[in-house]
Amino acid sequence: MDEQRVSASIAPTHNQPVVQQPNFGLALVRIGAGALLLEEARRMHSGGVGGRLIEDCAHRIALAPEPLARLGQDVLLRFPEPAAWVWFGATAALGALYFVGALTRPASLGLLVLAVLRWSFGPPHEQLLAALYAACALGCGLSDAGRRLGVDLLLGGALPVWLTWSRAKGAGGSKGARRGASPSD
């Protein structure tokens, strides 16, 4: 009798979504990308965050596609000092979020934007790293890689869905799940 109840409570019903944890390897990729981003932020900070970070990219901004070139000329080159601090802050924040696995889906969107900007405005020898960050952001964002070895496992049920971008409440399924329900219910 208890065995039936246990098997029925973990079997998915029609109204209970199946929550799958992402692959362990993908969680390690997320942690590695977070560590790389944190190291980049540390190097930026130790080298002095300043307008030169943006001004050094002026020739690449001119070569970027029209919408990105316009962003670079109208915003980044006009305000290089604040733009450099935003770049540093975004790199550090995304690195920290990825490293601990918190808010992985929104952080993945941010990392994808950072990778596109880096591809377009950064030095050519860093384009492969930008592509790697973009692939990591897509993989981790689509699989919700923070639910494995990450804080998202705890935050899924505690924070609102609009913030976590996660359909399921916590790791245990939806809040509408019933104990003892059979798969045919």
pLDDT tens digits, 7-23: 444 555 555 555 566 67
Q: Is 57 part of a structural domain of the chain?
A: yes
Q: Is 1 part of a structural domain of the chain?
A: no
Q: What domain count does the chain have?
A: 1
Q: Which residues of the chain have pLDDT under 50?
A: 1, 5-9, 169-185
Q: Is 53 part of a structural domain of the chain?
A: yes
149, 22 contact by CB (below 8 A): no
Rg of the Cα trace of the chain?
Answer: 21
90, 110 contact by CB (below 8 A): yes
Structure tokens given for 82: 């604040």
What are the residues whose beta carbons fall under 8 Å from the beta carbon of 181, sequence distance 6 or more?
A: 8, 9, 13, 16
Q: Is 173 part of a structural domain of the chain?
A: no
The Cα–Cα gap between 29 and 34 comes to 9
